[in-house]
Amino acid sequence: MPMKNSIRYHIGTIPVFDHKITVITIISTLLLIFNSYFRITNSIYIDRLILYFIVPIIVITLVFRESPSTYGFQLGDWRAGLVITVLGILLIAPIIYFVVKIDPNMQNFFGSVYTGNILWIAFLDLFGWEFLFRGWILFGYEKEFGANALWLQAVPFALAHIGKPAVETVSTIFGGFAFGWVAWRTRSFLYPFLIHMFVTCFTILVASGLVK
């Protein structure tokens, strides 16, 4: 039985692609690769803000001719967002504490990155990171794939964690989906960003022994 969208995607034997899906997929992949191999500034965190936030915003506004709010750059349903953020933090805090305390790999990896500027660094590191996955990719894919975009954006998110402790990397396919759901529910990437900031900061503080 032919797929219902087969006429849309094929002209004879030549596939026809949605140009926005193509652009989002190629550029987001190249941005992740570029960030792994090259530097723009002396700070990897500023690089990520440039690559994962500023570049997509430029593409959205100048190439797609759309508003960034269409891609989750807005407050969205802020009431639901605040409730979900608080509940998410309360739920995940004891899990993080337990996992870090029993896993020496988590302690060694995150315990070595503590800095007094933890909030500022986490902001620079994760603002663009969350916009890339829970803004640009999620809402860009949603227009074509619907709710399946929640899983689709979680895959590159998980793969981008390879090299970190195994327990964290394995969890990111599910964590990426959960973050995606929060953005999808609130129509904003800001709330998964806030939760992700807490996860990162709390993990570092526990691994560093500053939270007993």
Model pLDDT for residues 71-91, shown as the tens digit of each residue? 999 999 999 999 999 999 999
C-alpha 16/C-alpha 22 separation (Å) is 10
Instruction: Give how far Cα 11 sits from Cα of 1, 5, 6, 22, 189, Å.
Output: 18, 12, 9, 17, 36
What was the pLDDT predicted at 35? 95
What was the pLDDT predicted at 16? 81
Residues paired with 51 in a beta bridge: none
What was the pLDDT predicted at 112? 80
CA atoms within 13 A on the CB side of 84: 25
Strand, coil or helix: 11: strand
Asked if pLDDT for residue 208 goes beyond 60, the answer is yes
**pLDDT tens profile 43-53:** 999 999 999 99
The model's pTM: 0.90
Strand, coil or helix: 10: strand
Angle separating helix axes 104-111 and 78-102, nearest 10 degrees: 110
